[in-house]
Structures are given as structure tokens and as C-alpha cells.
Structure 1
Amino acid sequence: MIEDITVRYLDSFKDKQLVDPILIEGLPGIGQVGKLVAEYMIHILAAEKIGEIHSIYLPPQVILEENGLARLARNELFLYQSGGKDVLFLVGDHQSTSNEGHYILADFYCGIAEELKVKRIYTLGGFGVGHLVNEPRVLGAVNRSELRTELEAAGVTFNRDEPGGGIIGAAGLILGLSAEWGIDAVCLMGETSGYLVDPMSAANVLAVLSKLIDVPVDQTKLNDRAAEMEKAIESMVEGEKHGDEELSYIG
């Protein structure tokens, strides 16, 4: 029987005790910034998968694995525990395909956070500016004014006019709805063109997030990806310049 939303916890998680956990949301979005940060942290920290979320509000499709095996689109929960630091991650294949679904799923995620006694939620995303950015800023938003000072000390920028259209999708709705659940929440947005997957923006968000949650993460591999992307963009821009010169010559 298909239900609107289901969460299934793995047997390996049922006996675990969480202590003051935080939740990091990194679902797909602008520049894939949040997704890059969360999945990179899961990989580097060797976080353990603890659950799967299925919903009719996700796109009507299956995902094909490398061996050709089909599975339903899903979102997943991971857990990292070390030295008294309990960090939950919400990642996955998709966000909702409808406005209604966005609200329902975001509220469901907040319900999971309450159930697992999460003390604070960090939502991650990209802030699309429509042009290439050499030194991406990390912009912030909070659901309680007292949280702002802490973020500013970590290098987060607050600007009432940015983003101008508000924060769309899970990163914004979880931030807003979590207040109704009595959970502190912070949104970190990496400045990005919005046209490409942006590891440079993700690296800056990761640096700030690591400070805020006091969990050191080796950024070497992500920084390497960012450097490769920067070189690729430089080559692309240089090629466009040469193309313009050739066209001018022909004209």
C-alpha cells in the first residue's frame, strides 16, 4: 500500500541513543550547494545510513542503479556520532514536485527532527545571482534573532535584500516551519551563479558550518574539486573571448 509519506529506520539504528543531536539538511537545489556539502560530510565522516523516506510528493520516477536495478526515488537519513557530537543528515534524490508537497514534506522533516529530539536544524542551499562568482559569500537566515550573532562571528553575511525572492524549497520551509515545532534553525546559503554545480560555493559553506557545529572536516577533496571547476570556468571564459575576437575579425 502506498502512503503519502513513509520513513523507515534501519534495524541498526533502533538501539542507538542520541545526545543533543543536530540535523543538517542538504537536498538538491541551486548549484547543488547544500547537496554537495552534506554528501561530502557524510563521506568524509563515514556517517552511517539510518533511514529512508519515500513519498508520493517526490517525482514520479525510479532511479536506476549502476547494475540496472530500479528503485523508487527517496530521501535518506544518516548519522555521525563521535566525541559527544551527534549529527543527523537529511539528503536524497529530489525535492517535491509541487507547492503543496514542499510544505507537507518540510513539515514531515520537522516532525522527524522533533521525534529524534534535535536541538537545532541547519538547512543548506545556494543563493543564485545569475553570474559567475570568484569569491562566494555565505549568506544566512535564522528563525530566532538570538542566533544571528553566532553566525556573524563565523563569517556569515546577513542582508535584508538578499535573497530578494526569499528562500525557496526545503531550505526555506524547514527554516520557517521549525519555529512552529519549537526547534532552532539556521539557513546557510552559498553564493553561486546557479548555472553549474558549484563546489567552490560548497567549500565556503562547509568551512562556516564546520565552525558552527565544531566538527572538523578535511576539505581537501572538495577544495580540489573547486579548483578544477575554477580552471574549467576560466578556460570556458577564455574560449568565449577568443571566439568574440574571431567573429570581430571575420566581420
Structure 2
Amino acid sequence: MARIRVVDEGVDLHNPTLVEGFPGAGLVGKIVADHMVDAMDLTHYANVHSDSFDQVAVYDRGTPELASPVRLYADDRGEVLVLQSDIPVEADAAEEFAAAFAPWLEDNATPVFIAGLPTKQRSSTPELFGVGSGAGVDTVGDAGLARPPERGVVSGPAGSLLGHAVENGLDAVGLIVECDPRFPDPVAAKTLLERGIEPIIGRDVSVGMLESQAEKIQQAKERLARRMQDGGDASSEATPLRMFQ
């Protein structure tokens, strides 16, 4: 079961959009979430606990205080939430978490889930397209996002959560972006922020810092990417279904 423990009672939520940042293909969601927390100076709002998560604690540079590995951050208006995760989630755990976390989402926020589409060859600007469930379909259209160019499937945490939304008629948005299948991809994250997240939340998320720190981000994330590869297929990613056509 999933439990949300609020750590800052001073935050008032006002129908927020929640951006999910579980590590996935290209670590795009992870990079986006980390950048939004820093660039928008978000407040640590709550910890997210699940029996299906690895039971670990995380620490950070310059502070002795331990933290939960999965956390929610909020802006000062209570209109944007970001789920920041420092751990990958296995496939079975993702399904259990989705079923437990979805009721809280339904009552508190409209989610935007992120999936990387591993692509060996692409143009300098990664392709991005949007999908949705319920009112999320209108959100995708209003944001001017491209439609999927082919059939595909979303797996991992994002896939489980989107699947739960479809099965239960809930509002949700999925953003799918081409990414490097082997390494962290800050270029894909930048594309997703500028052309996906910003139009949906109606806010500017400065990407200048992301551009200037792209090399540093890649080096810092490579160890997590290797951990995920060693742990099996647990990434949130999109896969074309060409074999079925």
C-alpha cells in the first residue's frame, strides 16, 4: 500500500498538476523532476512510502539529515507537484504502487507521466508526443503536442499508472520523448520541459541551467543508469508495436 506523509502543513494544494519523475529510459523523468525541484525552488511537501519500494534511506551532500527516497515537492501556489525518486522501481512493484497511489492522485492532483522512447538514431531535437486518458486527451491537444506516429506500449511505473488511469476512467497525461537508450539524456529532458511540461502547467521552467550542466548531469546519473540495467527491465519506456502490425 502507498502512504503519503505530509512534512510541510503550510502547503495548500489547489488542483495541482503532478509531474512524475521515476527513473526510466534515458533517465528523462528523473532529470526533469530533479531540474524542476531546483529551478522552481520547490518545497518538500510530503514523503511517499510504499511496501513495494526498496526500504532504503538517502542522504545528500552538505547535510546529515536522511530523507525518504520518493518525495513530493510543491510550488508556492500549490499548483504544481513534482514526484522525485532516487530509486528505480521494479515491474511488479510498479503495479502494486500504481493501484495504491492512484486513489490519492484522483483526489488531489492531475498527473503527467513521463516515458522515454529509446532511439538509436534521431535528429538533434528529439521527437515528443503526448497521449492521455479522460480529460488528459484535451490537455494534450491544448498543449499543441504531436500525436503518436505509430502504435506502441508504455511500460514501467509510468505504464502501470497510465494503465490504471485507462482502466478506471481517470484523467492522466503521458509524455513520450525520444531518448538515448544507453545513457542519461538531458537533451531529451530539455525538449520535454520546453515543449511538454511548460505548455501544460502554464509556467516557465528555466532550462538554461540544464543546458549548462548537461555534461555534469550525465556523469552524475550514469551510475544510476548502470544500476537500472543490472536490475532488469524496470524502466518507464515506450516501445513501438511494429511486430504486431
Q: Could you state the TM-score of these two structures normalised by the residue count of structure 2? A: 0.75
Q: What secondary structure does 1:81 align onto?
A: coil
**Post-superposition CA distance 1:166-202 (Å, at most 9, x none):** 1111212212212455531111122112211111000
Pair 1:189–1:176, CA change in 2 (3 A): same
Aligned residues: 217
Matches of 2:172 and 2:138, distance apart in 1: 14
Q: Percent identity?
A: 23
1:183 aligns with 2:170: yes
CA RMSD for the aligned pairs? 3.0
Pair 1:63–1:47, CA change in 2 (3 A): closer
- Pick the aligned partner of 2:140 from 136, 151, 155: 151
Pair 1:195–1:131, CA change in 2 (3 A): farther
Pair 1:16–1:193, CA change in 2 (3 A): closer
Matches of 1:88 and 1:64, distance apart in 2: 22
Q: Which amino acid aligns with 1:17?
A: D
Give the match for residue 8 of structure 1.
5
Q: Which amino acid aligns with 1:156?
A: L
Q: What secondary structure does 1:34 align onto?
A: helix
Say which structure, 1 or 2, has more relative contact order (CA 8 Å, 6+ apart): 2
Q: Which moved more, 1:205-214 or 1:68-77?
A: 68-77
Offset of 1:153 from its aligned partner?
A: 5.7
- Pick the aligned partner of 2:35 from 28, 37, 40: 40
Give the match for residue 167 of structure 1.
154
Offset of 1:7 from its aligned partner?
A: 2.5
Offset of 1:211 from its aligned partner?
A: 1.1
Give the match for residue 246 of structure 1.
none
1:217 aligns with 2:172: no
**Post-superposition CA distance 1:95-120 (Å, at most 9, x none):** 42242x2111112222221342x2x2
Matches of 2:217 and 2:39, distance apart in 1: 20
Map 1:89-238 onto structure 2 (within 5 A): 89-99=82-92, 101-116=93-108, 118=109, 120-131=110-121, 133-144=123-134, 147-148=136-137, 150-152=139-141, 154-159=143-148, 161-162=150-151, 164=152, 166-180=153-167, 182-208=169-195, 209-226=197-214
Map 1:36-75 onto structure 2 (within 5 A): 36-59=31-54, 61-63=56-58, 65-66=60-61, 74-75=69-70
CA contact (8 A) 2:11 2:74 kept: no
Q: What secondary structure does 2:213 align onto?
A: helix
Matches of 1:70 and 1:86, distance apart in 2: 28
Q: What secondary structure does 1:175 align onto?
A: helix
Q: Could you state the TM-score of these two structures normalised by the residue count of structure 1? A: 0.74
**Post-superposition CA distance 1:50-73 (Å, at most 9, x none):** 111233322355545447969576
Q: What secondary structure does 1:38 align onto?
A: helix
Q: Which moved more, 1:63-72 or 1:167-176?
A: 63-72
1:88 aligns with 2:81: yes
Give the match for residue 244 of structure 1.
none
Matches of 2:79 and 2:65, distance apart in 1: 32
Pair 1:57–1:147, CA change in 2 (3 A): closer
Pair 1:150–1:56, CA change in 2 (3 A): closer
Q: Which moved more, 1:56-65 or 1:73-82?
A: 56-65
